[in-house]
Structure 1
């Protein structure tokens, strides 16, 4: 006895299938928006709206107590006539230009050492990263203790080698170099990023280079640096943005608690002056204009870095010559 033939169910019309796909997409979109809604609400309330409102405040004379008084572009004009702006911007640019390359170089050297550490690399990764967990306020206080010109640990160590250390906290010429050195305290995160990039470089490239007679420096310049250049570029961009917004450590060390003992002008960074205008002098409109000028500066600097990266950063699978 033969089994009856199986009759396939008639296929749904194309119009019905398209309607079903649309309903499924709407359901997926609704579910996604539902899960994203806490972040979307938080972004709108705590980020988007303050940004938009700060644009308006930058065009007003606002002291928090009285209603904003619209003054147009007067705040931006005043920025170009304020000598403190030039001082703060100069301090910030000097700090950024010196600190970022030094930060990247130290991070890379430590990552290269960790890459050769073998089994102990995990322990040293933790050791290098722990200072990153130190609160910035504590780092600012630590700066005053370590770099005290009279009995600070840094000058004590220099004295062991017969070097008379400078007055890091009172000599205006040494305030920014001291802060730059202190900023290297937190290289741990960058070290871990670079270490991960180094460990992803194929060993076959080094083996081929050794067969061709390439030494350590040739391998580093021709293989290591190009292969990890995306990680280096990321660290450069992120730390440039952070350096242009330097605030916590310098403010704690030189401006906190009404401190007037040290060379404040040498440590007056742009964001510190912005903070003073906003919360000490209550010039909220002027401070908002300062914030948007800083935002524009960061955007320009980042855009330049991205343009330069197209020539110097190598990505795997890149077809450029």
Structure 2
């Protein structure tokens, strides 16, 4: 089976990723589950080598031989764009290809709350999109940028490893820089972005303290900065940002984060009731004065989840449990799936049984 046939089959099946490993057929991830590529046989060593040569140019293969890890991108006419990861395991090369959607969906297309459109129109500060690997962070981030591109005249600079979605100019000027191709590292590109008459900076992922420091600096100096973290919810995100820094700096970082943070959008994907893929359950933190105080005070950061719950009516915030209840009430997911993902099963069950609580108004989204 040719590589082009595998990629076409993956697109047709709605796969999000393809795993290539010698000795087994290509494996698709579809709606979170793994399944072999139909009609594909076990990959031989020669086939693996041929696929890798087709996907990765020689210069990058040489870099892979030196570093033993590689992130890059691959574009095939009619089949679209793919994010490629090369790695070694048990002395052999493995490859994973992430399928990038052929179009950037809008925030509404993604079934995200209306408040996300307001968040996207912030002029300065920090917006963090968080979630586990495969939770749709890149897709949501692209939707935020598309909303800005559609509604603002500004200069957007993206720094990615690799570039995933290709963003076409609408009302904004777009500069997309790929680590390893257009720049040596995230921190180097970030420093330059602060000097390039930039309005909006998107950093694909915050991986280290230096990048985090520059992200905060960029937000502090009047830019709108968007980025992602591998954290499960808003409260954990605050802890993760602070934990990048040594103890002696953490008080100052809390003050800085409280000052520049605009919103945290945390998401996880849940199977749809109709069987047509997955949709996001979303926790949304809006940095009002109460949230800022909880960020500044390490003894009270654990109160963030309750503050989000209470802030729904006035600010449009929502916890995962509120989001999941909304999806359930709209008959988009079933009760069994909902109970797998909620944080407080007891409160959620009481609400499902119609038992009124003091927080009843906050459950309606």
TM-score range, shorter chain: under 0.3
TM-score (norm 2): 0.21
Q: Which has the larger radius of gyration?
A: 1
- Higher RCO (Cα < 8 Å, 6 or more apart): 1
Select the structure that is richer in helix.
1
